[in-house]
Amino acid sequence: MAKYIYEHKNWTDFSWKDKAINAVFGEVRLMQGKIIGQMNALGFSAKEEATLTALTLDVVKSSEIEGEALNYDQVRSSIARRLGINTAGLIPSNRHVEGIVEMMLDATQQYALPLTEKRLLGWHAALFPTGYSGPYKIEVGRYRTGDMQVVSGAMGKEKVHYEAVKPELVKTEMDRFLDWFNNDNTLDPVLKAAIAHFWFIIVHPFDDGNGRIGRAITDMTLARAENSGERFYSMSGQILIERKQYYKILQKIQHSSGDITEWLDWFLHCLKNAMLATENTTQKILYKAEFWKLHEHTLLNERQRLMLNKLFDGFEGKLQTSKWAKITKTSTDTALRDIKDLVEKGILQQANENGRNTNYELAN
């Protein structure tokens, strides 16, 4: 069996080939500047909207990578509430969602504060408020005291993908990691984000939740790179899409003797793809912002505002009178009146299906 990277002496003196990553690294830095420029041109409320969308995606997708589905609207409401963003129809969220949101916002909004052991343990406690991960009781708010193996397969036929640092070495390794994270400013913060993620995952300091905390550390470092708590793209959303590659590359580099070029290359490409995905979202947000600016004096009721925002945020399926009535909790007559009013105002138009299937869309 090949040695694990941490079994080498001075294993954290990572090396990489600059030439191999220079091109993609340059592109990423350029795109970051471009996105921030685009966003700054957006105006305050649209920027808030973009940040809210990116943070919500980050929380939802980071949990999805771990096979857990969170309620998108609950997460969005929780973030909006904590950031003081006024959005229609805030809904209460459960303790578990609140905990995950708390960790994410602490990482991205307080990005300039040092990352300490106490802070990490607080994040861990926030992730597991009941002391359980699913049906299993775990050690919460402390480094693990047991061995950690990542395995798959049926009982008796398990395949070990990874065996993490021995429990008695976790504290020493984490002290070294935190010292580097807080005090080494020689690296570009984008590269630092990539290395921090890898380093943390290799140590695997907790009983559970290592992936989510590792991704929060990434987001924190990227916020430092941009010197801003405003988030406009979701790295976790992109990792979810490229999840197979993510695990494959981690598995490969965990046996390297210190050269992490391939990991950096993968990470930078993933980051670039996350930013490319944002360009589409930005167009939508711009469109929405322009629409509301145009209609700031148009008389609209709360139901109409709610439904129009839903249409801008990506409405599932087709908009029919019955759906409008159900979502706004009104009668179909009221729904039809609301819709007809918007058609008259040139905001909605009938899509080209008649009869029972009449549905509506935003007018061009």
Residue 270's H or E segment, with its range, is helix 261-294
Going by pLDDT thresholds of 50, 70 and 90, the confidence category of residue 354 is: low
Give Cβ neighbours of residue 132 (< 8 Å, ≥ 6 apart). 138
Tell me the two tokens of residue 303: 């139901």
Q: In this structure, which long-range contacts are made by residues 284-292, counting pairs with CB atoms below 8 Å and at least 24 apart in sequence?
A: 284/312, 284/314, 285/42, 285/46, 285/49, 285/50, 285/53, 286/42, 286/46, 287/312, 288/46, 288/49, 288/312, 288/313, 289/42, 289/43, 289/45, 289/46, 289/49, 292/45
Instruction: Give the whole-angstrom CA distance, residue 191 versus residue 197.
Output: 10
Per the CB < 8 A criterion, the answer to whether 181 and 246 are in contact is no
Q: What is the pLDDT of residue 36?
A: 86
Helix (H) or strand (E) holding 348: strand 348-350
Residue 121: what pLDDT?
97
Q: What is the pLDDT of residue 342?
A: 95
Question: What does the mean pLDDT of the chain come to?
Answer: 91
- Rounded alpha-carbon distances, angstroms, from residue 255 to 14, 100, 211: 13, 31, 19
pLDDT of residue 353: 66
Q: What pTM did the predictor assign?
A: 0.82
* Contact present, 158 and 152 (Cβ < 8 Å): yes
Q: Are 38 and 282 in contact (CB under 8 A)?
A: yes
Span 156-160, average pLDDT: 80
Is residue 240 over pLDDT 90? Answer: yes
> Among 2, 6, 34, 14, which Cα is nearest to 226's?
34
Predicted pLDDT of residue 88: 63
CATH number for the domain running over 5-288: 1.10.3290.10
Fold of 301-362: Arc Repressor Mutant, subunit A (1.10.10)
Per-residue pLDDT reduced to its tens digit, 241-298: 999 999 999 999 999 999 999 999 999 999 999 999 887 777 777 788 788 888 988 9
- Distance, in Å, from the CA atom of 39 to the CA atom of 136, rounded to the nearest integer, reads 43
Identity of residue 162: Y
Identify the pLDDT of residue 287.
81
Tell me the residue length of the chain.
Answer: 364
| Percent above pLDDT 90 for the chain | 68
326 or 357, which is more confident: 326
d(CA 331, CA 328): 9
pLDDT digit string, tens, across residues 68-106: 999 999 999 999 999 998 776 678 888 999 999 999 999
Q: What is the pLDDT of residue 355?
A: 64
Beta-carbon contacts of 24 under 8 Å, excluding residues fewer than 6 positions away, are 265, 268, 269, 272
Question: Residue 77 and residue 87: Cα distance in Å, rounded?
Answer: 8
Region of 9 please: left (phi>0), alpha (psi -120 to 50) or beta. Answer: beta
Q: Facing residues of 159 across strands? A: 152
Q: Are 103 and 127 in contact (CB under 8 A)?
A: yes
Q: Of residues 353 and 269, which shows the higher confidence score?
A: 269
Q: At 27, is the pLDDT very low, low, confident or very high (cuts 50, 70, 90)?
A: very high
Domain positions in the chain:
5-288, 301-362
Q: How far apart are CA 39 and CA 230, in angstroms?
A: 10
Share of the chain above pLDDT 70, in %: 98
Q: Residue 78 corresponds to which amino acid?
A: S
Residue 314 has pLDDT above 90, yes or no: no
Pick the residue with more confidence: 48 or 173? 173
How far apart, in whole angstroms, are the C-alpha atoms of residue 237 and residue 222? 15
Amino acid at 280: N
- Using 50, 70 and 90 to split pLDDT, how confident is the model at 318? confident
Summarize pLDDT for 188-232 with one digit per residue, the tens.
999 999 999 999 999 999 999 999 999 999 999 999 999 999 998
The kind and range of the H/E element at 32 are: helix 18-40
Give 118-137 pLDDT, tens digit per residue.
999 999 999 999 999 888 89
